[in-house]
Amino acid sequence: MMLTRVVAEGVARGEVTLAFRRWATCRVSAGRTFLSVAGVIVIGAVERIDPATITTEDAHAAGARRVEDVLASLRGGPGDPVFRITLSYGGPDPRHATADDAALTAGDVAGIGAALDRLDARSARGPWTRETLRLIEAGPGTRAADLAASLDVEKDTLKRDIRKLKNLGLTLSLDVGYALSPRGAAWLRAPQVDTPD
């Protein structure tokens, strides 16, 4: 489930407690969590509703000014059901603590290298992780489209790939482009990072 930055930050502050979605089938379940730009979001109750029952209070709880704004934001087919989803904040993104940890042991360096090797091995286009990290290091804030062109890949492929690096705590998303995290920068500076591709 995707939330805009404004909504996710509203959930983190406790100001936004609801979301409404129009889906052919429900895509979330109570008790599950997901990561947003503001941290971990917890899904509470999920119920199918008649959109005509959405109140002004519901709209405000969803971060909207009016019921009409909520209704206008619903995607999907007009015949698809609408779901009312309760949201709460589950804490900061655990990847941030990892990303900030630049004190790498030899085991950390080897573990990161092994994880990158696995990503490279699963890629249809061959090794990409180290080159991508070096490009991000050389040009923090470079637009995704420009990075993708440098690597000769589609922008969506690049974004997926960088998300994998972010999950390892090696990169950070900026308002425009990406940067190496302290952990990613420390790993690139560490000895033995260049394994055979």
Which pLDDT value is given to residue 101? 87
| 20, 70 contact by CB (below 8 A) | yes
Concatenating the DSSP letter of every residue in 155-178 gives HHHHHHHHHHHHHTT-EEE-SSSE
Q: What angle do CA 6, 11, 16 make, to 5 degrees?
A: 85
Q: Where in the chain is the domain with CATH 2.30.130.30?
A: 5-92
Q: Where in the chain is the domain with CATH 1.10.10.10?
A: 95-189
Residue 33 tokens read as 């969590």
Enter the CATH code of domain 95-189: 1.10.10.10
Classify the C-alpha dihedral 83-86-87-90 as positive or negative.
negative
| 80, 65 contact by CB (below 8 A) | no
Pick the CATH number of 5-92 from 2.30.130.30, 3.40.50.2300, 2.60.40.3670, 1.10.10.10: 2.30.130.30
Which pLDDT value is given to residue 86? 98
Provide the CA 96 distance to its chain's centre, in angstroms: 12
Burial of 132 (0-12, 13-18, 19+ CB in 10 A): buried
Average pLDDT per consecutive 10 residues, the chain (197 residues; last block may be shorter): 94 98 96 92 98 98 98 94 98 84 92 96 94 96 95 94 93 92 95 55
Which pLDDT value is given to residue 15? 98
Classify the C-alpha dihedral 22-75-70-159 as positive or negative.
positive
C-alpha count within 13 angstroms, C-beta hemisphere, residue 77: 4
